[in-house]
Amino acid sequence: MVPQKTSEHLRASRCEETNPQGWISATRTIIRPAKKARCHPRQGGALFSLGAVLYEALAGERPARVPGGALAARLRAARPDIPRSLGQTVCCLLAESPDERPPNADAVLEALKPGRVYRTVDEGLTPWADTLPFPLASILWHYDGEPDPAIKIDYLLKFFEALAQFVATVQLSACVSDDGFFAINRCAWFEGSGQRPLDLGIATFGAWVKLSELLGGTIRDLLDTGDGMSRCCQLFVATDTELADALASPELAGIFQHALHRRNDWSGHGGIAGQHLHRERLTEVEDLLDRTRALLGWSFEPWTLLKPGPMTLSRGVFDLTATILKGPNSAFRKKQIQLTQALDAGRLYLLNDGNLRALELAPFVRVLAGQTGQDACYFCNRLEGAGVRWVSYHFHAEPELVLPDEDLHDLLVKLVPPPATEHETARPRRAPEPEPGSSL
C-alpha cells in the first residue's frame, strides 16, 4: 500500500511549490508551508513531501492546491478502490497548516498500516465465506455444493436478495441509532418527494435494493463532511469506516440492481430454459459474485454477528455468553465476550473487533425456532395480519414461519408513521393556558 522508499521520504527534507497550473510539486527545494508558519521546517516539510509523493503514486498526478475536502474527493475519484482511511491519511499530510498534519513519522506509519489482511478473488469461495455473517455464508455453502446449474442460479439469486436485505438492515440500524440523524433523514429515505413511500411491511427484493441505495447515498455524504468519519464510526459502533464505506459503494448498488433485473427477467418471462441457457446464466451471476467478493472480501472480516445469551454484570462490565453466527457452519459455537452495554436477547448484534459496544440490528433478521425447536436464521418477508412471515434460505426443515413480532411492527411505524386521520387533522388546536400571574 505504501511505496518501498517510505522511510527515505520521511527522512528527506523536500519542499513544495505551486506551478502555474495549480499543482503541488514535492521535488524542488523552496519555501515550505511549515516555514511560512514559523514552525520547525524539517519535520513539517518532510511529512508534507511524503504526502505529495504518496498522492502522486496513488492518483498518477500531482496534488492540486485545493481545500482538503476537495483534494480527498479528487483522490477518491482517481482511486475509488483504496480504503478511505488511506486517502484521509494522505490528504492530512498535505494540509496547509502543520497543526493539521500527523505529529510525526511514527503516527504516519501507524496510520498507513492495513487494518486487516485483504482477501482477493483468487483465494477461492470458502475462505471468503468464512468471513461473512452466517445468514449469507450459509446460502453460498448450499450453492457451492450443488452441481445442477439451475439450482446454483437459484441459490445465487437468493444470496443477492439476502445480501441486499442484510446490507440495508445494517445501514438502517446504524442510521436509526442516532435519533437526531434519523429525524433529519427519515423523509428522504422513506417518503421521497413525488415517490411512493417505501413500505418494508411488504419488503421485496427491489425495496431492499432501493433502501440500501438511499442509505448509501446518505452515508457517503456524511463521510465527505469534515468530521464525517468520526460520526460514521459512532453510528456503526466501529473503529474504522471500512465496512460502512464498502456497503455504501455505488458499485455494490449496481450489483444489486443487476441481480434484481436478472431475477425478474428469468423468473417472470420466457419459456423453459435448457442446460445451455442455464450455463450462460450461471456464468453471468457468478461474475456478479466475483465482483461482490472483490468489493466485500475484506470488509466483514473484523466483524462478528452474534446472538446474546446469559450475561452477568460486574464493575460496569457485562460478561456475556454469545452465539457466534459467522461462516457457513450451522453448528453455532458459543463464546464469552465482555461488553460495557447490556444486550437484548431477542436481537442480533454486529461487534467490531476491539470494541466494547455492539451495533444492534433492526429486527429484519432474526434467529428463531419453529416447531422443530431448532434455531435457524430467518429474514423478514412481509407482514401477515398481526404476524410476520419469515423465510430461511438454509434451514430446509422449516423454511417459512409466521410469528407475531411487536418490535418489528413498532419499528415500521417509526419508519413510516401512519397518516393523521381526518378527525385528527380537523381538530382545532387549543391555545396554551396562561401561567398564573401572567398577562395576555
* Interval 206-248: pLDDT, tens: 999 999 999 999 999 999 888 898 999 999 999 989 899 999 9
Residue-range domain boundaries for the chain = 6-112, 121-294
Is the confidence at residue 172, as pLDDT, over 90? Answer: yes
Is the confidence at residue 283, as pLDDT, over 80? Answer: yes
pTM for this one?
0.77
Is the confidence at residue 282, as pLDDT, over 90? Answer: yes
pLDDT of residue 306: 97
- Taking each helix axis from N to C end, the angle separating 149-176 and 250-268, rounded to the nearest 10 degrees, works out to 140
Q: Specify the higher pLDDT residue, 31 or 324.
A: 324
Residue whose C-alpha cell is 428469468: 266
Cα gap 51→38, rounded to integer Å: 20
Weakest-pLDDT range from 75-79, 268-272, 333-337: 268-272
Is the confidence at residue 3, as pLDDT, over 50? Answer: no
Q: Are strands 349-352 and 359-360 parallel, antiparallel or unpaired?
A: antiparallel
Q: Tell me if 44 sits within 8 A of 34, measured CB to CB.
A: yes
Q: Rounded to an integer, what is the distance from CA 182 to the centroid of its chain?
A: 16
Weakest-pLDDT range from 85-89, 128-132, 166-170: 85-89
Q: Residue type at 400?
A: E
Which helix (H) or strand (E) segment is 311 a member of? strand 303-314
Closest CA to 358 of 374, 334, 378, 338: 338
What distance separates the 2 farthest-apart alpha carbons in the chain? 88
Q: What percent of the chain has pLDDT over 90?
A: 56
Q: Tell me if 224 sits within 8 A of 194, measured CB to CB.
A: no
Cell of 134: 452466517
Residues 240, 221, 33: CA angle, nearest 5 degrees? 75
Which residues make Cβ contacts (< 8 Å) with residue 42, sequence separation at least 6? 13
pLDDT of residue 435: 46
Q: What is the residue-averaged pLDDT of the chain?
A: 83
Cα gap 384→400, rounded to integer Å: 13
Terminal-residue alpha carbon distance, the chain: 70
Residue whose C-alpha cell is 382545532: 428
Is the confidence at residue 295, as pLDDT, over 80? Answer: yes
Q: Rounded to an integer, what is the distance from CA 295 to the centroid of its chain?
A: 12
Is the confidence at residue 99, as pLDDT, over 90? Answer: no
Q: Specify the higher pLDDT residue, 83 or 204.
A: 204
Q: Are strands 333-339 and 317-324 parallel, antiparallel or unpaired?
A: antiparallel
pLDDT tens, 104-126? 888 888 777 655 555 555 667 89
**Mean pLDDT value of segment 356-361:** 98
Residue whose C-alpha cell is 499543482: 23
Cell of 384: 401477515
Which helix (H) or strand (E) segment is 169 a member of? helix 149-176
Q: Which residues of 54-78 are buried (b: 16+ CB within 10 A; e: fewer)?
A: bbbebbeebbeeeeeeebbebbbee
Weakest-pLDDT range from 38-42, 62-66, 311-315: 38-42
Cα gap 139→159, rounded to integer Å: 6
